Amino acid sequence: MKLLGIVPARAGSKGIANKNIRELGGKPLYRWVLDTAIKSQSLEKIIISTDIQEILETKHNNIVEVQKRPKELAQGESGSIKKVVKYVLSQLNDQPNYFAILQPTSPFLRVIDIEMVCCAFVNPYIDSAQTVCKIRHLDHAYNQRVVKNGWIEFAFPLRRNRTGKQAQPDHYSFGNLIITKTDYFLRTNDFFGKSVGIEIPWVFGIDIDYEDDLAFAERWWNYDRPTRTEI
């Protein structure tokens, strides 16, 4: 399995200033997924796509390449992850069979998550595999609210009234990793296609998007010593 890891780490961020190099547990956020990917030994090469000078000037493991991101791919929506992945792939002489998107905002990615997602490709008919987290009851779509004319209403009242708690279908959110077949992505401009989900505990799927997320991750990391050894 010829697998490339792509770490997208641009300087700009709306939720947290300099998010990708903010420290968590004493090291920059982007280092968490990078160190885990190196430990897994499943990735043949890892490319950090960045415009952050601190990362560009840092020495890394010999399977890690730091690629300076063009300005036009570092500006908000113009730097969408699909465009970044296409650019990274276009700079390679030898295309990988698969690529993994290693998001710095998913610091609690584990080696076992990478291995389990890789194993899913024993099924030759899938286009991608990803980790997922089961949605808890209170966050389930049938329990979500919307505001209409100033009043709180259920988003899906008919489904909620017809489906008891125990009968609600399982819903899932994205976890912390997706691996996609390169030829499928380049052909369709889509990361998913026929995708297999590997369920992980929700805490390992924590996404750092706002200051509160970072504060919670810091507290959990410092408090839950037995669990943190899995990372």
Q: What is the CATH number of the domain that holds 71?
A: 3.90.550.10
Question: Do 104 and 42 reside in the same domain of the chain?
Answer: yes
Question: Do 13 and 85 reside in the same domain of the chain?
Answer: yes
Domains identified in the chain, total number: 2
Question: Do 121 and 208 reside in the same domain of the chain?
Answer: yes
Q: pLDDT tens-digit profile of 158-205?
A: 888 777 777 889 999 999 999 999 999 999 999 999 999 999 999 999
pTM: 0.91
Task: Quote the CA–CA distance of 121 and 174 in Å, as a whole number.
Answer: 18
What average pLDDT values come out for the chain (231 residues) when binned by 10 residues? 93 84 95 96 96 93 94 75 96 96 97 97 97 92 94 90 80 97 98 98 94 94 65 66
Question: Do 109 and 194 reside in the same domain of the chain?
Answer: yes
Question: Do 116 and 33 reside in the same domain of the chain?
Answer: yes
Per the structure, the complete domain to which residue 20 belongs is given by: 3-131+173-228
What residues contact 84, with CB distance under 8 A and at least 6 apart? 6, 8, 49, 69, 73
Question: Do 64 and 153 reside in the same domain of the chain?
Answer: no
Question: Do 67 and 107 reside in the same domain of the chain?
Answer: yes
Question: Do 122 and 204 reside in the same domain of the chain?
Answer: yes
CA dihedral 42, 46, 48, 49 (to 10 degrees): -110
Question: Do 142 and 74 reside in the same domain of the chain?
Answer: no
Contact 101, 37 (CB under 8 A): no
Strand 151-154 to 145-148 pairing: antiparallel
